[in-house]
C-alpha cells in the first residue's frame, strides 16, 4: 500500500521512501515496519497539505486521493426587492455543482426586462461570523444579491432569520427579534410581505415648497 505517484495536488508531497532492499528474516515484522513507515508518511503529508483534503478512499486502500475546494471572494448586497438569491455564473467557483434550469421560467427586472436564469447551486459562505449555507439562482445579473425574503424564510412558515437595517449596516439576527423589538416601539412605516417582496400601499402627492400659499 503506497501513496499515489507524483505530487499530491500542488502540495509537493511525493511517495514515501521505498523500503530497504535488504531481505528481512521476519516477514511479519517487516510488514509492521512498512506499515509504520506508511502511516508516518501519511501524517507528514497531512501536515504539509494543510487545507487540502487528503483521503485514502478506494476499496483496497491503495491510493491517496487529494482534492482542493476552490474559494472565491464575492461581494453580496442584501436586497428586499430581490425575490431570490441571485449570482452570475462567472462569480462562482469553477468546481461548483449545479442543476440547470429546465423549467423555461426566468426573472423579470423592475423595468420588466428579461433576466436569464441558468440554474441553481448550493454554496458555503464564510465570514468572520462563521459559515452559512446559501442556495443561489444563477442568473444574468451584474451583482450578487441576497433576498431578504429568502433569508427570513416563507411567510406562512416559521421564520428562519430576521434582517435588520440602519444607516450603517444590515445584520441577520435570530428569528423573533423584530417581534420583540416591536413590542416596545411604534413603526414609522410598514411593508407587508407579498410573495417574496415587502409592499406598502401609500397615497402620494407633491411636496409643498416653502412659502407656497394654498
Strands annotated E in the chain: 53-56, 64-67, 76-79, 86-87, 98-100, 107-108, 114-115, 117-127, 130-139, 144-147, 162-165, 170-173, 192-194, 197-199
What pLDDT score was predicted for residue 110?
Answer: 87
- In Å, how far are 71, 125, 137, 152, 162 from 129, measured between CA atoms? 17, 10, 23, 18, 16
What pLDDT score was predicted for residue 78?
Answer: 97
111 alpha carbon, distance to own chain's centre: 29
Residue among 137, 131, 139 at smallest CA distance from 149 = 137
Strand order in the sheet with 117-127: 76-79, 144-147, 86-87, 130-139, 117-127, 98-100
Residue-level pLDDT, tens digit, the chain, 214 residues: 433 333 444 434 344 444 444 444 456 676 667 667 656 665 554 454 443 333 333 444 444 344 567 899 999 999 999 999 999 999 999 999 999 999 999 999 989 999 999 999 999 999 999 999 999 999 999 999 999 999 999 998 889 999 999 999 999 999 999 999 999 999 999 999 999 999 999 999 999 887 755 5
Distance from C-alpha of 67 to C-alpha of 81, rounded to nearest angstrom: 39
Long-range contact set of residues 126-131: C-beta below 8 Å, sequence gap at least 24? 126/71
Please compute, for residue 157, the number of CA atoms within 13 A of its CA located in the half-sphere on the CB side.
9
- In order of their start, the domains of the chain are 1-68 (no CATH), 76-199 (2.40.70)
- In Å, how far are 80, 93, 155 from 100, measured between CA atoms? 26, 16, 27
Distance from C-alpha of 134 to C-alpha of 126, rounded to nearest angstrom: 10
Length of the chain: 214
Distance from C-alpha of 113 to C-alpha of 89, rounded to nearest angstrom: 19
Q: Is 42 left (phi over 0), alpha (psi -120 to 50) or beta?
A: alpha
Amino acid at each position: 500500500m503506497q501513496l499515489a505517484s507524483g505530487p499530491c495536488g500542488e502540495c509537493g508531497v511525493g511517495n514515501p521512501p521505498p523500503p530497504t532492499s535488504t531481505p528481512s528474516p521476519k516477514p511479519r515484522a517487516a510488514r509492521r515496519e512498512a506499515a509504520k513507515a506508511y502511516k508516518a508518511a501519511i501524517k507528514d503529508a497531512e501536515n504539509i497539505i494543510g487545507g487540502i483534503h487528503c483521503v485514502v478512499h478506494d476499496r483496497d486502500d491503495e491510493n491517496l486521493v487529494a482534492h482542493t475546494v476552490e474559494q472565491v471572494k464575492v461581494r453580496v448586497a442584501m436586497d428586499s426587492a430581490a425575490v431570490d438569491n441571485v449570482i452570475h455564473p462567472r462569480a462562482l467557483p469553477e468546481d461548483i455543482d449545479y442543476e440547470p434550469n429546465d423549467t423555461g421560467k426566468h426573472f423579470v427586472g423592475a423595468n420588466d426586462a428579461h433576466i436569464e436564469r441558468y440554474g441553481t447551486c448550493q454554496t458555503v459562505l464564510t465570514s468572520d461570523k462563521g459559515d452559512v449555507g446559501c442556495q443561489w439562482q444563477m442568473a444574468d445579473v451584474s451583482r450578487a444579491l441576497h433576498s431578504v425574503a429568502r433569508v427570513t424564510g416563507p411567510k406562512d412558515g416559521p421564520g428562519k432569520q430576521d434582517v435588520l437595517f440602519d444607516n450603517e449596516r444590515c445584520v441577520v439576527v435570530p428569528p423573533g427579534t423584530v417581534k420583540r423589538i416591536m413590542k416596545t416601539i411604534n413603526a414609522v412605516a410598514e411593508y407587508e410581505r407579498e410573495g417574496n417582496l415587502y409592499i406598502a400601499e401609500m397615497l402620494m402627492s407633491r411636496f409643498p415648497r416653502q412659502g407656497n400659499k394654498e
